[in-house]
Amino acid sequence: EAGVAQSPRYKIIEKRQSVAFWCNPISGHATLYWYQQILGQGPKLLIQFQNNGVVDDSQLPKDRFSAERLKGVDSTLKIQPAKLEDSAVYLCASSFGQSSYEQYFGPGTRLTVT
């Protein structure tokens, strides 16, 4: 079974530029999460989807971050414009459903904002 796929793996941009990350969850997984992991910290939730609907985006900085999962499968997270403090690893995770105990993570996208 293929795991959670993310691309790109690494991205370097200048502040005020925009960037997009892509995630393809494990096949059949209805719930998808985006987490932000700043160096030396644990991951923190940005947004959670159930199929193509948003379940929780309370910690998403909506003035600059957006995310979508239009067909309920893969998802895109965008930052526009980026700030220096957005430098982090962006992790995508998925689970079979909202009642699932297990959550599986992708390899992450490391973003550096200069």
Partner 1 sequence: GEDVEQSLFLSVREGDSSVINCTYTDSSSTYLYWYKQEPGAGLQLLTYIFSNMDMKQDQRLTVLLNKKDKHLSLRIADTQTGDSAIYFCAERYQAGTALIFGKGTTLSVSS
Q: What CA–CA distances, in Å, run from 10 to 6, 7, 58, 73?
A: 10, 8, 26, 22
75 binds partner 1 (CB under 8 A): no
51 binds partner 1 (CB under 8 A): no
Within 8 A by CB and 6+ apart from 14, the residues are: 82, 113, 114
Q: Which of 29, 32, 43, 60 binds partner 1 (CB under 8 A)?
A: 43
114 binds partner 1 (CB under 8 A): no
DSSP state of 85: G
Please give the structure tokens belonging to residue 40.
Answer: 């030396």
Q: Which of 18, 56, 62, 80 binds partner 1 (CB under 8 A)?
A: 56
- Toward partner 1, which CB reaches closer, 56 or 85? 56
- Toward partner 1, which CB reaches closer, 14 or 54? 54
Site for partner 1 in 80-109 (CB under 8 A): 91, 93, 97-108
Within 8 A by CB and 6+ apart from 24, the residues are: 4, 5, 6, 73, 74
Interaction site with partner 1 (CB under 8 A)? 4, 31, 33, 35, 40-45, 48, 50, 55-56, 91, 93, 97-108
